[in-house]
Structure 1
C-alpha cells in the first residue's frame, strides 16, 4: 500500500497549490495585457531592481557566506554571487526585452479554405510556468522578465542556497509590477525549499502549464523523470572545442581560452579540447602553457601527455580517465584528447556530448560544413567560442534556459519559445456536411 501523506506534507502541498491558484488568477490578466502595459511593467521592474540594489547585494552576501560555511565549491559560489555589475546586467536585460517585438498575437499562418473558413494561427502565452533552478539569482530576473513580456506567469522555485537573494529580488519585482498596474502574482517565489515542493510543482496538472528545470544533471533528471506536466528539458553542457588540422592557431588559442576561462562555472563553457593529430605537436604545447598559466588543470590522453612531456610539461598535467570525457566540470579543469580525423572528433562528441554547444576551429570550409551538418547539438559553431550560447548574446534580451531537446524549443529560449499557438477561425454560418 502507498503510505498516506502526513499532515505536514498535506499542508505543504496545499500551500503550494494555493500559490498556483493565485498564479492561475493572475494568468487571466496577463493573457490580455497589452504590449504597452507589459513593457511598462518591465521598465518599472528594472527601476525597482536598481533602487533595491544595496538590499539585494546585502541579502546575497548572507547567501554567499552561508554557502562558503557549508563548503560549497567555488564554481557553485560563482553562480550564486552577485555584485553591482551583475545587478546592472539584470536591469539591462529587462530593458533589452522592452525593445524586442512582443510575440503574443503574432500571426504565424493565414489561409482561407474553399468553404470560406478564414483560419489564422496566432501566438499565445503558455500560461503558468514553473521555473525550477538552483544557485543563480539572475535566473529569477530573466525568468520573470521573459514571462511578463510574453503574458505568462512565473512561479519560481530557486535553490535554498539563494533564498535570501531571491526574496530580495522578488520584492523589488513586485514593486515594479504594482507600479505598472499588473498583479504582483504575475511573479511568485516558492519560499519553502523542501525537495518535495519540486515534485508538487511538476505534478500539479491543471495548475502548472509548463515546467522548466535549469541546473545540474540531478535536478534536471528529477524533473524529467517525475513530471506529469509538460517539461522543456534544459541540459547540462559537456561542450567540446575541436581544433582541426586546418586551424588558424591564433584563433584556436583565443577560442579555447575564452571558452574555458571566461566563466568556467556555466553550462556553455568548454569541458573537452579535441586536437587533430597533424597539429598537436605544433600547437598544443603553446595552448597548454597559456591554459596552465591561467590556472586550468589539464587532464590529457596518452598521446597528448607524450606531446606535452616532449616539451617539459609532463609534471604539470594529469592523465585523463574515461570519466573525464563525460564530465561537466564547471570549473577550471579541461580534458584534452588527440584525435586522428574530423570523423574521430565527431564520433567522440556523439559518444560523450550532451547536445548543447560544439565548436570547430578550421579554415577548411568543407570540414567546417561537415562538422556543422553532422554534429547533433542545439548550437554548433565555426571559429567562435561556445560562450555565445546565451539568450542575451543571441539578441533575445534574456533567456529562460538552453534547451537540448528537439520538441518545441531548442537552444537559448527567448520570447517566442515561451509561447504556444492557437487557431482562430472566422466563419459565416458554415456547417460540416
Structure 2
C-alpha cells in the first residue's frame, strides 16, 4: 500500500479505532509493518486510546471530534448547544499530544460549526469531512477554518472527481482555487508582528462556575485528586501550617500533569534562558516535563553531595555562563530556592528568574517574594493561595471555615 502512494503524500488509515486492548498491536502494524503516516481514532476511550500511537514520534493520530451524520446531533450537542459534547472533545483531546502529532477530524459543511472548532483549537490541523455537499460554502469554510497563517486545513477531494478521466487537472484547478483564497485571506488578515509561538493552554471544560479567571478548572481538579490537605503539617522551613499543598499527586495523572506543565510553560515562554533547573526533590518531575516540552536541557543542584562517584554539585551538562531558569513547586519562605541558586551560581551559572506553581504568600504576605527580589531574582507564579481559595469556595469545594483557614 505504501509503495502505491507517493512518499510526499501522507497516507492516513481511516480506522476510527477505539479498542484499548488492540491499540499497541495496531499501532505497530500500521506504523511499522504498513508504513502509514497517521490513523483516525475514536476519542471515547480517552487519552489511553492515543498513547500507544503517539509513541511513534514521526507518526500522527487524527481524533474524530464530530460527525456530519444528522442522527448524531442528539449525542454531539449534549448537554446543550452552548457547550456541546463535540467541543468538549476538541478541548480535551488537545491535552493528549502536540500539534505536530495530533490532528482533529471534523465532519461538517457548516462554516459556523467549523469556526467553533477553530476557536477552540487555534493551533491544530483540522481534517475536514463531508464538506462538498454544498460546494457554494467552500469560501465560508475556508474563512472559518484557516488558522493565523491561512493554513491548518486538510481538505478531501470531492468524491465525484475520483472517477473522472482528468482527475489530475481538476485536482490542480481546485488546489489553485484554494491557494487564491488563501492569498486573499492573508491580504485581509495581517498577521501579528513577531509571529510569536505562544503556548496554547486549553480552556476550562465545564463542570464548575465560570469565574472569568484562567486555570479555574485546573485548581478544582487538583483539589479533587487530593493536592490540598487540611490539618497540622510541618513545612520544610520548620513552620507549622494548618493545610498542606501536595503537588506530587499530579505525576500519577498524565492528563492533569500535562495541564500543569502548560500553566508553567505560559510563564516560561516569555523568559530568556538556556537551561531549566529543578529544585529537588518535589519539582524534579515538573522540571523534567518542562524540559521535554520546551526542548530545553535539564540540570539540578543536588540536595546533598555524594561521598562516592563523581561527587557533583550539579547534575547534568552545562557551560559556565549559561542562563538558568529555576523551577519549584511552591514558594513559602524562599529558603530552598536560594539554597539551590547558591549551588548553581557557585558553578558558574547565571540565574535571573524563578518560576513556581504556587506562591504561598501572594499579595497578602510578600516576604518570600521580596526576599528573592532583594537577592536579584524575578519571581513568577502561576497561582497563589488567595486565588486558589477564591476558586474553590466559588465551586463549592470549600466550606467558609476551610476558606478562612487559608485566608
Q: Which has the higher contact order (CA 8 A, sep 6+)?
A: 1
Structure ranking higher in helix proportion: 1
TM-score normalised by L of structure 1: 0.30
